[in-house]
Chains A and B, each alone.
Chain A
Amino acid sequence: MNEDEEVDYLLNQAHKDINAWANEMHRAEYFDAGTLAIAALRRNYATRYIAPPERCLQTSQGIRVVLNGLRDISNLCIISSEPRWLEHSLAVEEVWGLSHDSTQRINAFSNINPEFISYCSDFISQPLEKIKHRFGDGLYTSWEMVSDSVLCTICEKDIRGCDHIPNRWYRGRLCKVRAMGGRITHVALLENPRDKRCRIWPWMRVESGESDETIYDG
Protein backbone atom coordinates (compact mmCIF):
# COMPACT_ATOMS: atom_id res chain seq x y z
CA MET A 1 0.00 0.00 0.00
CA ASN A 2 1.18 3.53 -0.68
CA GLU A 3 0.85 6.32 1.87
CA ASP A 4 -2.62 7.49 0.78
CA GLU A 5 -3.98 3.94 0.68
CA GLU A 6 -2.61 3.20 4.12
CA VAL A 7 -4.16 6.35 5.59
CA ASP A 8 -7.50 5.48 3.94
CA TYR A 9 -7.27 1.96 5.34
CA LEU A 10 -6.68 3.30 8.86
CA LEU A 11 -9.57 5.77 8.62
CA ASN A 12 -11.94 3.10 7.24
CA GLN A 13 -10.96 0.74 10.03
CA ALA A 14 -11.49 3.51 12.58
CA HIS A 15 -14.91 4.22 11.06
CA LYS A 16 -15.91 0.58 11.64
CA ASP A 17 -14.49 0.51 15.18
CA ILE A 18 -16.21 3.76 16.15
CA ASN A 19 -19.53 2.63 14.67
CA ALA A 20 -19.33 -0.61 16.65
CA TRP A 21 -18.67 1.42 19.81
CA ALA A 22 -21.59 3.75 19.06
CA ASN A 23 -23.97 0.81 18.53
CA GLU A 24 -23.13 -0.61 21.94
CA MET A 25 -23.47 2.81 23.57
CA HIS A 26 -26.84 3.28 21.91
CA ARG A 27 -27.97 0.02 23.52
CA ALA A 28 -26.60 1.28 26.88
CA GLU A 29 -24.11 -1.61 26.86
CA TYR A 30 -21.37 0.59 28.24
CA PHE A 31 -19.07 -2.16 29.41
CA ASP A 32 -19.14 -3.85 25.99
CA ALA A 33 -18.58 -0.52 24.27
CA GLY A 34 -15.53 0.19 26.44
CA THR A 35 -14.18 -3.29 25.76
CA LEU A 36 -14.56 -2.72 22.00
CA ALA A 37 -12.63 0.55 22.23
CA ILE A 38 -9.79 -1.09 24.16
CA ALA A 39 -9.69 -4.09 21.82
CA ALA A 40 -9.56 -1.82 18.77
CA LEU A 41 -6.71 0.17 20.34
CA ARG A 42 -4.67 -2.97 20.86
CA ARG A 43 -5.59 -4.72 17.62
CA ASN A 44 -5.47 -2.07 14.92
CA TYR A 45 -3.51 0.96 15.94
CA ALA A 46 -0.73 -0.25 18.21
CA THR A 47 2.53 1.48 17.36
CA ARG A 48 4.23 -1.79 16.46
CA TYR A 49 1.85 -2.26 13.51
CA ILE A 50 2.15 1.21 12.07
CA ALA A 51 5.19 2.04 10.01
CA PRO A 52 6.24 5.41 8.66
CA PRO A 53 5.47 7.48 6.56
CA GLU A 54 4.55 10.33 8.78
CA ARG A 55 0.89 10.72 7.79
CA CYS A 56 0.20 7.11 8.77
CA LEU A 57 1.81 7.67 12.16
CA GLN A 58 -0.15 10.87 12.69
CA THR A 59 -3.41 9.24 11.63
CA SER A 60 -2.96 6.22 13.88
CA GLN A 61 -1.93 8.51 16.74
CA GLY A 62 -5.07 10.60 16.23
CA ILE A 63 -7.29 7.51 16.12
CA ARG A 64 -5.67 6.16 19.29
CA VAL A 65 -6.40 9.41 21.11
CA VAL A 66 -10.06 9.31 19.99
CA LEU A 67 -10.48 5.66 20.96
CA ASN A 68 -9.04 6.43 24.38
CA GLY A 69 -11.67 9.17 24.62
CA LEU A 70 -14.42 6.69 23.70
CA ARG A 71 -13.14 4.28 26.33
CA ASP A 72 -13.32 7.14 28.86
CA ILE A 73 -16.92 7.90 27.89
CA SER A 74 -17.88 4.25 28.34
CA ASN A 75 -16.24 4.19 31.75
CA LEU A 76 -17.95 7.36 32.93
CA CYS A 77 -21.29 5.96 31.73
CA ILE A 78 -20.65 2.72 33.64
CA ILE A 79 -20.11 4.71 36.85
CA SER A 80 -22.87 7.29 36.33
CA SER A 81 -25.46 4.67 35.45
CA GLU A 82 -25.29 3.47 39.05
CA PRO A 83 -28.28 5.04 40.87
CA ARG A 84 -26.33 6.38 43.87
CA TRP A 85 -23.05 7.36 42.24
CA LEU A 86 -23.34 10.99 43.35
CA GLU A 87 -23.15 9.88 46.99
CA HIS A 88 -19.65 8.48 46.54
CA SER A 89 -16.85 11.02 46.42
CA LEU A 90 -14.45 8.80 44.47
CA ALA A 91 -17.14 8.10 41.84
CA VAL A 92 -17.84 11.82 41.45
CA GLU A 93 -14.15 12.65 41.11
CA GLU A 94 -13.66 9.84 38.60
CA VAL A 95 -16.61 10.90 36.45
CA TRP A 96 -15.43 14.51 36.57
CA GLY A 97 -11.92 13.53 35.45
CA LEU A 98 -13.16 11.16 32.73
CA SER A 99 -15.56 13.81 31.41
CA HIS A 100 -12.75 16.29 30.85
CA ASP A 101 -10.28 13.67 29.61
CA SER A 102 -12.76 12.41 27.03
CA THR A 103 -13.81 15.89 25.90
CA GLN A 104 -10.18 16.78 25.28
CA ARG A 105 -9.48 13.52 23.45
CA ILE A 106 -12.45 13.41 21.08
CA ASN A 107 -11.79 17.01 20.06
CA ALA A 108 -8.11 16.38 19.41
CA PHE A 109 -8.40 14.71 16.00
CA SER A 110 -9.47 16.88 13.06
CA ASN A 111 -10.85 13.94 11.03
CA ILE A 112 -13.73 13.40 13.43
CA ASN A 113 -17.19 14.40 12.24
CA PRO A 114 -18.64 17.27 14.36
CA GLU A 115 -21.97 15.41 14.54
CA PHE A 116 -20.20 12.47 16.14
CA ILE A 117 -18.53 14.80 18.64
CA SER A 118 -21.98 16.15 19.47
CA TYR A 119 -23.26 12.57 19.90
CA CYS A 120 -20.41 11.87 22.34
CA SER A 121 -20.95 15.16 24.16
CA ASP A 122 -24.46 14.09 25.14
CA PHE A 123 -23.03 11.19 27.14
CA ILE A 124 -20.60 13.57 28.83
CA SER A 125 -22.96 16.44 29.57
CA GLN A 126 -25.59 14.43 31.46
CA PRO A 127 -23.39 13.44 34.43
CA LEU A 128 -21.79 16.90 34.39
CA GLU A 129 -25.23 18.49 34.76
CA LYS A 130 -25.94 16.23 37.73
CA ILE A 131 -22.64 17.21 39.33
CA LYS A 132 -23.41 20.88 38.78
CA HIS A 133 -26.89 20.49 40.28
CA ARG A 134 -25.47 18.74 43.36
CA PHE A 135 -22.18 20.57 43.92
CA GLY A 136 -22.43 23.86 42.03
CA ASP A 137 -19.93 25.36 39.57
CA GLY A 138 -16.98 24.64 41.81
CA LEU A 139 -13.72 26.19 42.87
CA TYR A 140 -10.38 25.26 41.38
CA THR A 141 -6.76 25.51 42.31
CA SER A 142 -4.57 27.44 39.97
CA TRP A 143 -0.88 28.14 40.02
CA GLU A 144 1.48 30.50 38.30
CA MET A 145 4.88 29.25 37.32
CA VAL A 146 7.88 31.24 36.17
CA SER A 147 10.53 29.42 34.13
CA ASP A 148 13.98 30.51 33.05
CA SER A 149 13.35 29.20 29.54
CA VAL A 150 11.05 26.94 27.52
CA LEU A 151 12.79 24.38 25.36
CA CYS A 152 11.53 22.94 22.09
CA THR A 153 11.61 19.11 22.18
CA ILE A 154 12.48 18.96 18.46
CA CYS A 155 15.63 21.12 18.39
CA GLU A 156 16.30 21.47 22.16
CA LYS A 157 16.62 25.26 21.74
CA ASP A 158 14.50 27.92 23.41
CA ILE A 159 11.14 27.69 21.60
CA ARG A 160 11.07 31.48 21.28
CA GLY A 161 14.07 31.29 18.96
CA CYS A 162 13.14 28.39 16.67
CA ASP A 163 10.57 27.88 13.93
CA HIS A 164 8.88 24.81 15.42
CA ILE A 165 5.27 25.04 16.56
CA PRO A 166 4.04 23.10 19.61
CA ASN A 167 1.65 20.21 18.86
CA ARG A 168 2.85 19.95 15.25
CA TRP A 169 4.59 16.92 13.81
CA TYR A 170 8.12 17.09 12.42
CA ARG A 171 9.44 13.91 10.76
CA GLY A 172 7.34 11.68 12.99
CA ARG A 173 8.05 13.63 16.19
CA LEU A 174 5.53 15.81 17.97
CA CYS A 175 6.78 19.24 19.04
CA LYS A 176 6.32 19.84 22.75
CA VAL A 177 7.55 22.46 25.18
CA ARG A 178 9.65 21.72 28.23
CA ALA A 179 9.93 24.39 30.91
CA MET A 180 13.41 24.71 32.44
CA GLY A 181 14.22 26.17 35.82
CA GLY A 182 10.57 26.52 36.81
CA ARG A 183 9.31 27.73 40.16
CA ILE A 184 5.76 28.24 41.38
CA THR A 185 5.20 31.86 42.34
CA HIS A 186 1.47 31.91 43.18
CA VAL A 187 -1.30 29.51 44.05
CA ALA A 188 -4.86 30.78 43.88
CA LEU A 189 -8.48 29.68 44.02
CA LEU A 190 -10.33 30.33 40.78
CA GLU A 191 -13.81 29.91 39.33
CA ASN A 192 -12.55 29.67 35.75
CA PRO A 193 -9.43 27.54 35.46
CA ARG A 194 -7.84 26.45 32.21
CA ASP A 195 -8.04 22.82 33.35
CA LYS A 196 -11.14 21.87 35.32
CA ARG A 197 -9.54 18.68 36.58
CA CYS A 198 -8.00 20.72 39.38
CA ARG A 199 -11.38 21.08 41.15
CA ILE A 200 -11.54 21.29 44.92
CA TRP A 201 -14.42 19.18 46.19
CA PRO A 202 -16.41 19.78 49.38
CA TRP A 203 -14.99 16.61 50.96
CA MET A 204 -11.50 18.04 50.58
CA ARG A 205 -12.23 20.82 53.05
CA VAL A 206 -9.99 20.89 56.05
CA GLU A 207 -11.67 21.15 59.44
CA SER A 208 -9.02 23.29 61.08
CA GLY A 209 -10.50 26.20 62.91
CA GLU A 210 -10.35 29.38 60.88
CA SER A 211 -9.86 27.97 57.38
CA ASP A 212 -12.75 25.54 57.15
CA GLU A 213 -15.14 27.71 55.14
CA THR A 214 -13.03 28.26 52.07
CA ILE A 215 -13.68 25.09 50.08
CA TYR A 216 -17.38 24.32 50.31
CA ASP A 217 -19.20 25.56 47.24
CA GLY A 218 -22.38 23.46 47.21
Chain B
Amino acid sequence: MLTSQLADVLTRIGITEEQLKGTDLLLLPENIDAGTSELQDTEESIWLGKYLKEKNVAVKTGFDLGLKPAVVERRGIDIWLGVAWVTNAIAAPVIANLIASYLLEQRQRSQDDRVHIDLRLQDGKKTSQIKYSGSLSDFERLMEGFTHSKDKKLP
Protein backbone atom coordinates (compact mmCIF):
# COMPACT_ATOMS: atom_id res chain seq x y z
CA MET B 1 0.00 0.00 0.00
CA LEU B 2 1.41 3.38 -1.02
CA THR B 3 1.41 6.05 1.67
CA SER B 4 2.98 8.98 -0.05
CA GLN B 5 2.38 12.13 -2.05
CA LEU B 6 1.98 9.88 -5.08
CA ALA B 7 -0.67 7.80 -3.34
CA ASP B 8 -2.54 10.94 -2.32
CA VAL B 9 -2.60 12.25 -5.87
CA LEU B 10 -3.60 8.90 -7.33
CA THR B 11 -6.40 8.49 -4.84
CA ARG B 12 -7.69 11.96 -5.61
CA ILE B 13 -7.93 11.23 -9.35
CA GLY B 14 -9.28 7.73 -8.94
CA ILE B 15 -6.27 5.68 -10.01
CA THR B 16 -5.34 2.52 -8.15
CA GLU B 17 -1.89 1.29 -7.22
CA GLU B 18 -2.57 -1.80 -9.30
CA GLN B 19 -2.76 0.30 -12.47
CA LEU B 20 0.82 1.50 -11.99
CA LYS B 21 2.45 -1.94 -12.01
CA GLY B 22 5.38 -2.07 -14.41
CA THR B 23 5.32 1.69 -14.94
CA ASP B 24 8.56 3.69 -14.72
CA LEU B 25 7.15 7.11 -15.56
CA LEU B 26 3.81 8.86 -15.24
CA LEU B 27 3.02 11.86 -17.41
CA LEU B 28 0.16 13.61 -15.65
CA PRO B 29 -1.94 16.72 -16.25
CA GLU B 30 -0.09 19.92 -15.34
CA ASN B 31 -2.77 20.93 -12.82
CA ILE B 32 -2.91 17.56 -11.09
CA ASP B 33 -2.38 19.18 -7.65
CA ALA B 34 -4.75 22.07 -8.13
CA GLY B 35 -7.90 20.15 -7.38
CA THR B 36 -9.68 21.73 -10.31
CA SER B 37 -12.55 19.91 -11.89
CA GLU B 38 -10.99 20.17 -15.35
CA LEU B 39 -7.61 18.48 -15.58
CA GLN B 40 -5.37 19.65 -18.43
CA ASP B 41 -2.75 17.79 -20.45
CA THR B 42 -0.30 20.04 -22.22
CA GLU B 43 0.07 19.42 -25.94
CA GLU B 44 3.83 18.95 -25.61
CA SER B 45 3.45 16.31 -22.87
CA ILE B 46 1.36 14.25 -25.30
CA TRP B 47 4.15 14.28 -27.90
CA LEU B 48 6.73 13.54 -25.20
CA GLY B 49 4.66 10.53 -24.10
CA LYS B 50 4.50 9.18 -27.64
CA TYR B 51 8.25 9.70 -28.09
CA LEU B 52 9.05 7.84 -24.86
CA LYS B 53 6.72 4.97 -25.75
CA GLU B 54 8.54 4.58 -29.06
CA LYS B 55 11.78 4.38 -27.08
CA ASN B 56 10.24 1.54 -25.05
CA VAL B 57 10.03 3.48 -21.81
CA ALA B 58 7.36 2.05 -19.52
CA VAL B 59 5.38 5.29 -19.45
CA LYS B 60 1.70 5.86 -18.78
CA THR B 61 -0.23 9.06 -19.24
CA GLY B 62 -3.35 10.15 -17.42
CA PHE B 63 -5.28 9.18 -20.55
CA ASP B 64 -3.78 5.67 -20.46
CA LEU B 65 -5.01 5.37 -16.88
CA GLY B 66 -8.57 6.23 -17.81
CA LEU B 67 -8.62 9.99 -17.27
CA LYS B 68 -9.98 12.28 -19.98
CA PRO B 69 -8.09 15.52 -19.36
CA ALA B 70 -8.70 18.52 -21.60
CA VAL B 71 -5.75 19.50 -23.80
CA VAL B 72 -4.15 22.92 -23.52
CA GLU B 73 -2.25 24.36 -26.48
CA ARG B 74 -0.14 27.46 -25.95
CA ARG B 75 1.18 29.34 -28.95
CA GLY B 76 4.22 30.80 -27.22
CA ILE B 77 7.64 29.27 -27.84
CA ASP B 78 7.87 27.94 -24.27
CA ILE B 79 7.70 24.19 -23.77
CA TRP B 80 5.13 23.04 -21.24
CA LEU B 81 5.67 19.43 -20.17
CA GLY B 82 3.27 19.13 -17.26
CA VAL B 83 4.02 16.68 -14.45
CA ALA B 84 6.62 13.96 -15.12
CA TRP B 85 6.63 11.57 -12.18
CA VAL B 86 9.38 8.94 -12.20
CA THR B 87 7.95 6.02 -10.26
CA ASN B 88 10.98 3.75 -10.66
CA ALA B 89 14.15 5.51 -9.44
CA ILE B 90 16.40 3.02 -11.24
CA ALA B 91 14.99 4.17 -14.59
CA ALA B 92 15.51 7.86 -13.79
CA PRO B 93 18.85 8.35 -15.61
CA VAL B 94 17.55 6.83 -18.84
CA ILE B 95 14.34 8.83 -18.65
CA ALA B 96 16.26 12.06 -17.98
CA ASN B 97 18.47 11.40 -21.01
CA LEU B 98 15.50 10.71 -23.23
CA ILE B 99 13.59 13.82 -22.14
CA ALA B 100 16.65 15.94 -22.94
CA SER B 101 17.06 14.17 -26.30
CA TYR B 102 13.41 14.67 -27.13
CA LEU B 103 13.65 18.40 -26.58
CA LEU B 104 16.86 18.86 -28.54
CA GLU B 105 16.45 16.42 -31.41
CA GLN B 106 12.79 15.91 -31.94
CA ARG B 107 11.50 19.41 -31.43
CA GLN B 108 14.53 21.21 -32.91
CA ARG B 109 14.45 23.78 -30.18
CA SER B 110 16.78 26.69 -29.54
CA GLN B 111 18.91 26.71 -26.38
CA ASP B 112 17.14 29.90 -25.29
CA ASP B 113 13.64 28.39 -25.34
CA ARG B 114 12.10 28.06 -21.93
CA VAL B 115 11.03 24.72 -20.47
CA HIS B 116 8.35 24.29 -17.80
CA ILE B 117 8.22 20.93 -16.09
CA ASP B 118 7.18 19.60 -12.71
CA LEU B 119 9.63 16.74 -12.27
CA ARG B 120 9.08 14.30 -9.42
CA LEU B 121 11.01 11.24 -8.36
CA GLN B 122 9.42 8.55 -6.24
CA ASP B 123 11.85 6.55 -4.12
CA GLY B 124 9.80 4.31 -1.87
CA LYS B 125 7.55 6.61 0.11
CA LYS B 126 9.75 9.64 -0.46
CA THR B 127 9.01 12.11 -3.24
CA SER B 128 11.60 14.58 -4.51
CA GLN B 129 10.28 17.39 -6.65
CA ILE B 130 11.63 20.12 -8.90
CA LYS B 131 9.38 22.68 -10.50
CA TYR B 132 11.59 23.92 -13.29
CA SER B 133 10.96 26.98 -15.44
CA GLY B 134 14.08 28.04 -17.28
CA SER B 135 16.15 27.82 -20.41
CA LEU B 136 16.57 24.63 -22.37
CA SER B 137 20.36 24.83 -21.95
CA ASP B 138 20.06 24.93 -18.15
CA PHE B 139 17.49 22.14 -18.30
CA GLU B 140 20.03 20.05 -20.20
CA ARG B 141 22.56 20.59 -17.42
CA LEU B 142 19.93 19.71 -14.84
CA MET B 143 19.22 16.47 -16.68
CA GLU B 144 22.95 15.68 -16.87
CA GLY B 145 23.18 16.06 -13.11
CA PHE B 146 20.11 13.91 -12.75
CA THR B 147 21.67 11.23 -14.97
CA HIS B 148 25.03 11.18 -13.23
CA SER B 149 23.88 11.43 -9.63
CA LYS B 150 24.99 8.37 -7.73
CA ASP B 151 21.90 7.95 -5.63
CA LYS B 152 19.54 8.69 -8.54
CA LYS B 153 17.79 11.37 -6.51
CA LEU B 154 16.89 14.86 -7.49
CA PRO B 155 19.19 17.56 -6.09
Contact = CB atoms under 8 A, between A and B. Distances in A.
Given A160-B46, A165-B50, A193 B71 contact: no
A138 to B, nearest CB: 13
Contact of A192 (B41, B72, B76): B76
B47 A166 contact: yes
B31 to A, nearest CB: 11
B70 A193 contact: no
Given A150-B46, A160-B49, A145 B73 contact: yes
Given A146-B70, A161-B63, A195 B75 contact: yes
A142 B74 contact: yes
A148 B126 CA distance: 34
Contact of B73 (A147, A148, A149, A159): A147
Interface residues of B, number: 23
A166 B44 CA distance: 12
Nearest to A144: B74
B70 A147 contact: yes
A143 B63 CA distance: 24
A3 to B, nearest CB: 25
Interface residues of A, number: 24
Contacts, number: 58
Q: Is the interface of B mostly helix, strand, loop or mixed?
A: mixed
B147 interface: no
A198 interface: yes
B41 A160 contact: yes
A54 B68 CA distance: 34
Interface string B32-55: 000000101101001101100010
Nearest to A162: B50
Contacts of A190: 76-77
Given A146-B72, A146-B73, 9 more contacts: A145-B73, A146-B71, A147-B73, A148-B70, A160-B46, A190-B76, A190-B77, A192-B77, A194-B77
